Amino acid sequence: MERGSLQTQPNSLPVSEAVLESGSADSGSESGLLQWLIAGGVTDNTRSGAGPASQVNAARGNGWLRSLHTGSPLELMRLWLNLKPGDNVDIQRIKRCLARDIARIDQMLSAQLNEILHAPAFQELESGWRGLYYLWQTRRKELSTGQLDDEEAQILIRVLSVSKRELKKNFEAAGEFDQNELFRKVYEEEFGVAGGEPYGALIANYEFTNHPEDIDLLTQLSEVGAAAFAPVITGASPSLLGLDDFSVLEQTLDLHRVMQQPRHLKWRSLRGRVDSQFLGMTLPRILMRAPYHDSSGVSPGFRFTEEVGDGTRKNFLWGSAAWAMGAVLIRAFATSGWFADIRGSERGKESGGMVAGPAVYEFQTDSRGVSSRSTVEVAISDSLEADLCSLGFVPLSHCKDTDYSVFYSNQSVHAPQVFSDSVASANAKISAMLQYVMCCSRIAHYIKIKVREKLGAAVRPEKVCDDIKAWLVDYVTSDERASPEMKARYPLREADVSVEEVPGKPGEFSMTLRLLPHYQLDQLTSSMTLLARRVEFKQ
């Protein structure tokens, strides 16, 4: 090889010199071999009726493929450029030709990869796996930095791979909610057996519409969650609000009027059920991955920039905000062992309902990190956030000019009753908030275990009542001036339990637990009541 030129060797494959005469080795168009590969000649080069040029390209292509694994790089390059023995070609022309063909290949691969990445089925698959990975990352981070050690905060993530369609079919086949496979796995195999580990929450990676079948499935899920004291956190589809896309929320809408329409009758019926306290519907969707962007300009290999700039949000990878709520629950439990601190934000601190991640998409500026796009699908104003909460949703709001988003509230699907007594109305409202449902569920798990240990034993109900009271004292503080961290560890201001015999049923008792939440209290006079209707002891 001489400087500035490439001297081919005598043992080169005999090929045509038309490439030099036509200038196709320059930057005008891709080589004939590349055209043949694009046209699918690798698998269809023997078809009848092909012209002479196609037959020549087919012969060259087959020769190039045969030499792909056995020939030297120089031989492959000569064959690709269609050079014949003895040709002298300017090396700059060769570089331009190869760069042109590589750019063309990158262009085709980019188009194909964009089609794959933006296919709805693939986006659903990718967002699900990224959401699960996000939970795992959060768990690892919080256990390493949280206030509790691994033994105090045992955070387990278990995965059940089942589609929404499969779940519907299983519920339909079972007939009753306590006869299906989900109930068996969540309740009977854990909460309902000695030595089982009750689930704290169920993150359902689905989007529910206003279709009657979807509302029926939500009803059944709430029943399972209520039985196991494990709230179900899932996602709402725009159609559940009567919208085609969440971007419509940026317009002025009367959502209360929309949800009062006859087509939302089943949804309102679901909200009236007590079990819907164990159901959380998050929205809008969150960004699961920033678009791929090749900004280095010098990276080797395939350079790919994802196409998302068509003026819509559909090409971004969005996922259920239920993953974000799951991350908040993990952080709260790793910090205090409770779920009281799962909403709101505190300046300069990742706490409450603040969400970091799972992805950040920055504007393309000269300096990185100058400004970030919203991590949620649509911006939610304060008034819209209040409307969504009153309608039974858990909205996730983006913190402007930051990488964070926040759950400012955590209203369950349940619509609290309004009473003439303001205290009773406040109690109903508090009881419909997920943070207090989660705390009461943890207490219910413990009581279930304690009572199970007493079954069949010669113990008086008064003794069980005293034991539970002694345990509750460890989570009660009446100090209103205690620090937020202290109140998170002691989330109850008052607690009381009573056990009474069920009339006409010897050996069967009902237990009533009254709790006055202390942390993030909405009404100082509000309390929650937990009623266990069947507790049996041997007399």
Looking at the structure, do residues 270 and 325 belong to the same domain, yes or no?
Answer: yes
Tell whether the model's pLDDT for residue 408 goes beyond 80: yes
Total number of domains constituting the chain: 3
List C-alpha distances in Å: 439 to 231, 462, 488: 11, 24, 11
Q: What secondary structure letter does DSSP report for 292?
A: P
Whether the per-residue pLDDT at 147 is higher than 50: the answer is yes
Whether 429 contacts 521, CB under 8 Å = no
Q: Is residue 431 included in any domain, yes or no? A: no
Closest to 17 in 3D by CA, of 7, 25, 9: 25
**SS3 at position 497:** strand
Residues 184 and 130 both lie in one domain: yes
Q: What does the alpha-carbon distance between residue 247 and residue 234 come to, in Å, rounded to a whole number?
A: 20
The pLDDT assigned to 202 comes to: 96
**Same-domain pairing of 41 and 179:** no
Chain segment 461-473, per-residue pLDDT in tens: 788 788 888 888 8
DSSP string, 368-419: TTS-B--SBSS---HHHHHHHHHTT-EE-EE-TTSSEEE----B-S------
The residue ranking higher by pLDDT, 32 or 16, is: 32
Query: Mean pLDDT, to the nearest integer, of 422-448?
Result: 85
Alpha carbon distance 244, 114 (integer Å): 24
- Of 70, 98, 117, which closes a domain? 117
User: What are the residues facing 7 on neighbouring strands?
Assistant: 88
| Domain shared by 141 and 289, yes or no | yes
* 205 and 256 fall within a common domain: yes
pTM of the model: 0.80
Are residues 378 and 405 in contact, defined by beta-carbon separation less than 8 angstroms?
no
The answer to whether the beta carbons of residues 363 and 309 sit under 8 Å apart is: no
Q: Would 434 be classed as within a structural domain?
A: no
385-397 mean pLDDT? 94
Do 194 and 315 fall into the same domain?
Answer: yes
Higher pLDDT, 474 or 395: 395
Q: Give the orientation angle of helix 212-228 with respect to helix 164-174, to 10 degrees.
A: 70
What six digits make up the tokens of 64?
């190039």
Assess whether 48 and 124 both reside in one domain: no
245 and 133 part of one domain = yes
Report H helices in 69-163. 73-81, 91-117, 120-145
- What pLDDT is attached to residue 83? 72
pLDDT value for 442: 87
Alpha carbons 41 and 53: distance in angstroms, whole number: 12
CB atoms within 10 A of CB 346: 11
Question: Is the domain of 262 the same as that of 243?
Answer: yes
163 has pLDDT over 80: yes
Residue 379 has pLDDT above 80, yes or no: yes
Q: Which of 82, 33, 39 is nearest to 61 (CA)?
A: 33
Question: What is the phi/psi pair of residue 534, to 5°?
Answer: -140, 105
User: Is residue 423 in some structural domain?
Assistant: no
Stronger pLDDT, 59 or 195, i.e. the higher one: 195
Residue 433 falls within a domain, yes or no?
Answer: no
In a domain, 427, yes or no: no
Residues 493 and 521 in one domain: yes
Three-state DSSP at 168 gives helix
In this predicted model, which residue has the larger pLDDT, 432 or 323?
Answer: 323
Q: Indicate if 138 and 93 belong to the same structural domain.
A: no
- Domain range holding 62? 5-117
Tell me the pLDDT of the chain averaged across its residues: 79
Of these ranges, 260-274, 291-305, 339-353, 392-406, the one predicted with the greatest mean pLDDT is: 260-274
* Distances from the Cα of 138 to the Cα of 156, 221, 238, 318, 459, angstroms: 12, 26, 28, 19, 44
Instruction: Name the domain boundary from 387, 406, 425.
Output: 406
Given a contact cutoff of 8 angstroms between Cβ atoms, the answer to whether 448 and 439 are in contact is: no
In this structure, is residue 95 part of a structural domain?
A: yes
Domain co-membership, 37 together with 172: no
Is there a domain that residue 33 lies in? yes
Residue-level pLDDT at 525: 42
